[in-house]
Amino acid sequence: MHERSLVRLLLHQIIEAALKNSLAQGNCSEIRVRKVVVACGELSGVEPELVSLAFNEMRGSTDHSGVTTDQAELEIRRQPILARCIECGFEFKVEDFEFLCPTCRSTNNQVLAGEDFHLQTIDIELDNRL
């Protein structure tokens, strides 16, 4: 699907976050991104395998400003779908895309989580060579 543009966006977010983080920790000549954790909702329509493939192929391609991502490892955490029943207010995890309230059997519910794909954390290594 659109995994390549998603990864391109992700790499930009990673570099921005790495730069912000290194600024907070003082000057350094090189920032290496070691690990990236993203959350992938089951309703996001994103295929984790395709994101992994695209990431491994594209990492390192947008390196600039002293941030390198060519060794970055990507961890994709699947996020289950959480919904709240409109009828009785019960919050539940949706299994097998079955939007059925386990308490009152209503199908009238609102999705609370599991719809998006986003960056959670990054691990960086700062190289101070002054």
CB 116 within 8 Å of CB 41 = yes
Comparing CB distances to Zn ion, the nearer of 67 and 101 is 101
> Could you tell me if 59 and 14 are in contact, meaning their C-beta atoms sit under 8 angstroms apart?
no
Nearer to Zn ion, 39 or 99 (CB): 99
Q: How far apart are alpha carbons 70 and 32 in whole angstroms?
A: 8
Alpha-carbon distances of 111 from 10, 66, 101, 116, rounded to whole Å: 24, 40, 12, 11
Closest approach, Cβ 79 to Zn ion, in A, equals 22
Closer CB to Zn ion, 1 or 86, in the complex? 86
- Closest distance of CB 107 from Zn ion, Å: 9
Q: Give the residue with the Cβ less far from Zn ion, 67 or 81.
A: 81
> At its nearest, how many Å lie between Zn ion and the CB of residue 106?
5
* DSSP run (H or E) holding 49: helix 48-58
> Site residues (CB under 5 A) for Zn ion?
85, 87-88, 90, 101, 103-104, 106
Shortest CB 91 distance to Zn ion, Å: 10
